[in-house]
Structure formats: C-alpha cells, structure tokens
Structure 1
Amino acid sequence: MARILIDARCLGDSPTGVGSYARALIAHLAELPHDHELVLLRNRNNTAPITDAALPQIASACPPDNLKNHLLGHRALADAASQLGSPDLYHSLFHILPRYTRQALPNAGVVTTLHDLVWLDHPDASQPTWLKARSIQAFARAAIPHALNASDAVIAISRPTAERARQLLSSPSTSLHTIHHGVHARFFEPPPPLTGPLSELAAPDAPPFFVAIGNHKPYKNLRLLIDAFARLPAHSPRPHLVLIGDCQGLSTHIGESGVSERIHLPGLVDDEQLRALLGRARAFVFPSLVEGFGLPILEAMAMGRPTLVSDLEPMRSIAGESALHFAPHAPDDLSRLLHRLLVAPELAARLSERSLKRAHSFRWQHTAERTLQVYEALLARRATPT
C-alpha cells in the first residue's frame, strides 16, 4: 500500500475549472478499487468534505497558485509529512509546485497536473493591466518550467497543452501524459427547475436565450459574443443572452451594445442553477481565445445543448464535429450562426443529438482510472532498483 498526498489547496469557495477538476478527480479516485491511502492537503479556509469516503485531511494556510507557494509551500508539505508520515507519492493538482518539494518530500514521487499556459504565453489576455501581465508572466517563466521539470510525471489536460509542455521539458526522466477532463453524471440528468431572477426565462412563452460562461478577462472573449448578439437581425421573439460568471467588468460594453435589456449577468451560480440554465438554453456559446481544456463545453453537450465554439485548439478538438465553429475575431461569423439556430430547429435538433453522444465519451471515472495508472506506474518505477 502506498500513501498518496494529493495537494487540493486549489479548491476554493468560488467555482473554477481547476476546482471542478480537483473535486471530481478526488471523488472518483476514492471510489476506485485500490489499496492506496489517499491523504488530502487542503486550504484551511475550505475544508468541506469532497467525498463520502473518510479521507484524512491536513489544513494549510498557504494557497497553491502564487509566489508564496512557489517559495514557501514546501513548509506545508513538510508539515503534512510530519503529521501523517512521509508519502510515497505527491500529486499537485495545480501547476505551481513548491520550489523545495524534493527537500520536503525526499522519498516521494512527484506528479503535477498542468492545466494551461495562459500566464506564460498569453499574459495580456488574462490580466487587466500591462504591469500585471508582465509580473504574472515573469512569475510563470520561473514557476511553470520548474514545476514540470521537478516532476516525475506531468498530466496535461489536453493535447495542445501537452505539446506546449513538451517544449518546456528538459528533464529526460519526466513522463508526460494527456488525460482529459470528464463530465459529471448529473449533467446527463433532466435540468432542475429554474429559480430566482431568471425564472421568467423558463416560462412556456419565454423568448429563446443563449448561455455563455466566463468572466471579464480578454481571453474569455465575451465582448465578441456581445457584439455578435447585438448584430442579430430582427427576429421575433427577440432572444436573450445569459453570461454566467464574474462578468460585471463587461457592464460598460453591454451598456453600449444597444441590447442591454436582453443581456443578463447572474454572476457565479451553483451546479443546480447552471444545469437549469443550460438545460433550457437554445444554445451554449464558448468564444474563448485561450483555454487549457474547456470543461463547460462538455457540460453543455451533456445537457444536450447545441454548442458553438471558437475555431481554436483545444476547443476545436474537444467539441469535434458535434459543435459549430466560428472565427474568434469575427462577430459577424458568430452572429450568423446564432441566427441559424434561432430559425432552423432541425439544425438545433441535429446538434443536440451530436452533443449528447460526444459528451458520453468524456467521463470522470475514466479520468480517475488513467490518473491512478500514472500513480501506479510511477510507484513501480521508483520501486525498481536502478
């Protein structure tokens, strides 16, 4: 039996892609048949149980995604080792690895999950100012290559992310694996009731509406979607647009669009509200310029929604031919596709069927099984005398 320390400090109160990955992976790893002991390192501000399995947890004050963790996070690892015994394997679920991980855990194999390289390759698309973009890029240049090369195994969540990781790897002993995200089974269930301020969109005579998930950061490209929505030709009933997430920074752009009365900003929503909205939307739109994976694409597809994605990787390969693709800098291109879905119910029905079939090929159980294989291969490799 091996003791596996899983660094889940990336789990916070707000829903994020990294948090969704951590929560689902841990829950499904705990359900798999194996004789390993799973121990969780958690952020002390969020230690709510992830799974019904009684997994040991250690609370830490050090967050996983900043300079403090890079320089001082080894203290949290050393504390974990002193409390529960030295682990045989350490898995960082976020790609900022404490710089002195090897010193803190000298006997452990190290696995890191790489989600994306936005900070490194596209800092201006993820930060509000030039100075913040340069600062985060400088940090990423030091921290991300270190995390990859200090690991025995790297899990990339998409093929394009893995290809970029290969360019940064200089350690010949590091193995690289591509393991996709999955879709939670609840997204294949009928949508729950739509409650709250947007409940009027569930009325039998309600106008159709589109849904997108993101935030105000440039790489999410929601300004393009707003522009495309504003350019829709006259159509009765006029459609609405729901932008889920931290989108208040788009308020000025929405106000200048001429269609602000039909654009809704519910903010961050829980899974129940997300499923309620996705399950009733005419279509889901994912216009991002840069992503590590694009989990909301699969969640919308699992709900049977026609889906439109920007014609870039990894969105293109995740959605496949089951979605409509549009040029990510051409609002007229997207507007034309939105209009088609409003006036062509047979197209919407065909895409809905394709979406559901596509989503069934991405399951969290498979993600957990593949991850466990990485663990066991690394443990076996380290147990073999050289």
Structure 2
Amino acid sequence: MPLHAMRSKPTIGLVIDPWDFPFNGTVVSTRRFVAALSNQFNFKILKTGNVPDQTANNEIHFPKLSIPGANRIIDQMQAPLARPTRRLLQRVVADCDLIHVQYPFLLAHQAIRVARRLGKPVISSFHVQPENIQRNLRLNQAFVTRSLYRLFVSQFYQPSDQVIAPSEFAKKLLIQHGVSRPIDVLSNGITANFFAGSRRQTRSDQFQILSVGRLAQEKQQPLLLKAVAQSPYRAKIHVTLAGTGPTSAHLKRLAANLGVSATIGRVTDEQLKDLYETADVFVQCSRVELEGMSALEAMAAGCPTLLNRTETSALSELIQDPVGAFTDEAPNMLTQKLDALLSNPGARQFLADQNRAFALTRRHEASAAQLANLYRRVLGDKLKSDAGHAS
C-alpha cells in the first residue's frame, strides 16, 4: 500500500475469542476501547461464534475449538476458544489494515501467520498470564510456567510489530521472559461511570466486604472467606463475591460451612457500580494480576482496598499505603488488616481518598487516546517501510 493510501478510517481486526462473554476482564476492556474508538477506526471482531463462518455487524464467527479433557474447565471459565478456518481467516485479515491480538490462542496464532504473509502489521496485548492457565489446570510446576512463557513469547509477542502491557509489572515480566519487540505500557483504564457515583452506607449494623473477579483458583477467594470466619466482626460482615467461574459451587459450600454470610455469583453492570459505592472494604486476594481492573474500579469509586502484595501480581503497584496491603504468605494477616480497617472509619476514609486520587491517573479517556495514537503510529511505520521498499 503506498504512503498516500492509508484509509481515513483504518480497519482493525481484533482477535478475541470470548467476545460474547463480557464478564471476562479482557472482553470488558476490549469492548470499552471499541466503543471509545469506533468513530476513528472500523473494527472487525474475530471471535468464537455459535454460527461458524457467519459474518454480521463486523463480527466474524469461527467454530468453537474442542479440547478433550479441558472442555469442562473452558466452559466453566466462559472463555470458549475458536478454531480458525483458513479461507475465512485469509479473507478477513486481507480486509484489515492492522491485526490486534487480545487473546493469544490458536485463532490468534493463525491470524498472526496470515497477517505476516500478507504484510499486515500486528499488535499483541499481554492479557493472559500463563499462571492463570496453570492454576486452573492444576499444573503449577515451574517448568510448565517456563514452557508456557516460551510458547507465548515465540508464537505471539516476538512475531508482533508492537506489544502492549497493561502495567509496568507486566512489561518487566515480558522482558524477563525474552520479549525484545517494542513494548508500550497502556492501562485498561477506568471509565467515567465509576468516578461518577457517591459513597453511601446501606446498613449501619453490617459491614459490606466486596471482591470482584473470576471465581477461579488463581483469584484465591477462599482466603477472604476464611479471614472473615476468623474475625471478631464475623456476625456483622456480609461478603459479596461478584463473578462467575469454575469454583462457584465450592465457594458457596465453603461460605456455608464457615458460617459466613455471603452472596456469590454474577452481577449486572449497574449492580456492580452499586456494590463499589456501598462496600466498606474491597478485598483482592489474587496471586496473578497483570493490572487489577476491578481493584482500580473500586479505587475510582472511593472504596478502601485491601490488596494482596505478591511478586507475581501487578496489585502491588496499586497499593497506596501499608494499611491497605497484606500478603497471603502470612496466614492471619488478612484477618488482622481487615479487622483494623473495620474498627477504624478514619483509616478507611484515608485509604479511600488516597485510592481515588491515584485512580484519576488511570482514566479510560487517556488510555483510549494512547491506543489510537499507537494504532496510527504502527500503521504509519508500516506505510513508511512499504514506501522505502518500493523506492
């Protein structure tokens, strides 16, 4: 394509298999960026679909991939993987100016190969940490971690023109595992609606504890339930675990066995916003987070947060004060930190103010503008390269 031939509204092919499952953090983030940038770019969504080979509303359906032995877990995670069909993929990629990989599995692998063959630039975002996969498959050995990183790096990130990491932690992780392609840190960002509400109390005789995220091994929600069970405030605490996933039934049984009052399951966007605004403390126990979208949303809503500080998670970057941090390596630390916050409204307000000030630095508008500029830069570099080769 000659230098003068860039379309006024370039077409971006987004590879994101579970597009139809918007409680997935990657899907939530991608949908927000599409909504924010649809006036500047055309988007084609390459996804797993119920009607293979059907194309409608710029959504391209690919058949669902079946993996014997893993299908049940994949279904519980509500993250169906797509099986690429060669002719359809060739046709779709040929009609795109740039391919942006959000979900690094088989469809993405083939999309990158086709894009390289057709001379289309590729951007890959780092949304899936190998540790996520391992914990759900109960394959926590170090050699499996190294093997998965080698696979992801060699098949997705190194073949890309540009890589996006959602945090400095994520960028360092990619570099540590051998990525030498350009890496930009681009936060998923916090949309304006999470800043718009006001804090309020629902019941003066009860503490509301909130945790948001996939109900899965790596999120470690049992830590929170056990911490509440040991708290002297247990009778006054209600826990909400907002999310879906394979450990849902186990968590409900555990809460009942521990005598912890809990609501566990999916919530609507409006309910989620309400939960952030009424929670006395937000708790995130994950060992694996590349940014921590739900923690950021809670911070934007002015909610005090207790975050797990580990070497395998970006949550450490979000901690504003030691009062809002714990480590899962100290068995009783979460209970102690939670009790300290519940007994001290002033400490909760201090933490809430610190959180909200930090969250203002992660506004979605800034992230969307950064992504738009990145698209244009990569497209421009490609056109300049083509023009140089032509001359």
Would the TM-score normalized by the shorter structure come out above 0.5?
A: yes
Q: Distance in 2 between matches of 1:130 and 1:114?
A: 21
Deviations 1:298-342 (A, max 9, x none): 111111110110112310103434970101232421111111222
Alignment of 1:148-167 (within 5 A): 148-167=157-176
2:15, 2:47 within 8 Å by CA — same for their partners in 1? Answer: yes
1:183 to 2:183 alignment: no
Q: Distance in 1 between matches of 2:111 and 2:263?
A: 46
The aligned counterpart of 2:383 is 383
Deviation at 1:168, TM superposition (A): 3.7
TM-score (structure 1 length as normaliser): 0.80
1:369 maps to a residue whose letter is: A
1:309, 1:316 within 8 Å by CA — same for their partners in 2? Answer: yes
1:298 to 2:296 alignment: yes
Deviation at 1:138, TM superposition (A): 6.4
Deviation at 1:25, TM superposition (A): 1.2
Give the percent of matched residue pairs that are identical in Structure 1 and Structure 2: 22
Deviation at 1:203, TM superposition (A): 4.9
Q: Distance in 2 between matches of 1:122 and 1:80?
A: 30
1:95, 1:144 within 8 Å by CA — same for their partners in 2? Answer: no
Deviation at 1:6, TM superposition (A): 2.5
Structure 1 SS opposite 2:100: strand
The aligned counterpart of 1:126 is 136
5+ residue gaps, structure 1: 47-54, 194-201
Deviation at 1:107, TM superposition (A): 2.5
The aligned counterpart of 2:249 is 248
1:226, 1:254 within 8 Å by CA — same for their partners in 2? Answer: yes
2:98, 2:121 within 8 Å by CA — same for their partners in 1? Answer: yes
Q: Distance in 2 between matches of 1:157 and 1:65?
A: 30
1:64, 1:73 within 8 Å by CA — same for their partners in 2? Answer: no
Mean CA deviation greater in 375-384 or 17-26 = 375-384
2:134, 2:145 within 8 Å by CA — same for their partners in 1? Answer: no
The aligned counterpart of 1:40 is 45
2:161 maps to a residue whose letter is: D
Structure 2 SS opposite 1:98: helix
The aligned counterpart of 1:50 is none
Deviation at 1:281, TM superposition (A): 1.0
Name the CA shift for 1:192/1:361 in 2 (closer, same or farther; >3 Å): closer
1:102 to 2:110 alignment: no
Deviation at 1:62, TM superposition (A): 3.8
1:74, 1:100 within 8 Å by CA — same for their partners in 2? Answer: no
TM-score (structure 2 length as normaliser): 0.79
1:190 maps to a residue whose letter is: G
Name the CA shift for 1:283/1:79 in 2 (closer, same or farther; >3 Å): same
1:39, 1:57 within 8 Å by CA — same for their partners in 2? Answer: yes
Structure 1 SS opposite 2:164: strand
1:155, 1:179 within 8 Å by CA — same for their partners in 2? Answer: yes
Structure 1 SS opposite 2:118: coil
1:42, 1:57 within 8 Å by CA — same for their partners in 2? Answer: no
Deviation at 1:141, TM superposition (A): 4.9
Alignment of 1:216-255 (within 5 A): 216-234=215-233, 238-246=236-244, 247-255=248-256
1:336 to 2:327 alignment: no
Q: Distance in 2 between matches of 1:272 and 1:45?
A: 27
Q: Distance in 2 between matches of 1:285 and 1:342?
A: 12
Deviation at 1:352, TM superposition (A): 1.5
Q: Distance in 2 between matches of 1:269 and 1:342?
A: 25
The aligned counterpart of 1:52 is none
Structure 2 SS opposite 1:272: helix
Report the aligned-residue RMSD: 3.4
The aligned counterpart of 1:197 is none
Q: Distance in 1 between matches of 2:192 and 2:50?
A: 28
5+ residue gaps, structure 2: 1-6, 71-79
Alignment of 1:363-374 (within 5 A): 363-374=363-374
1:347 to 2:351 alignment: no
1:3 maps to a residue whose letter is: T
Q: Distance in 2 between matches of 1:271 and 1:18?
A: 15
Deviation at 1:282, TM superposition (A): 0.7
Number of equivalenced pairs: 356
Name the CA shift for 1:205/1:161 in 2 (closer, same or farther; >3 Å): closer
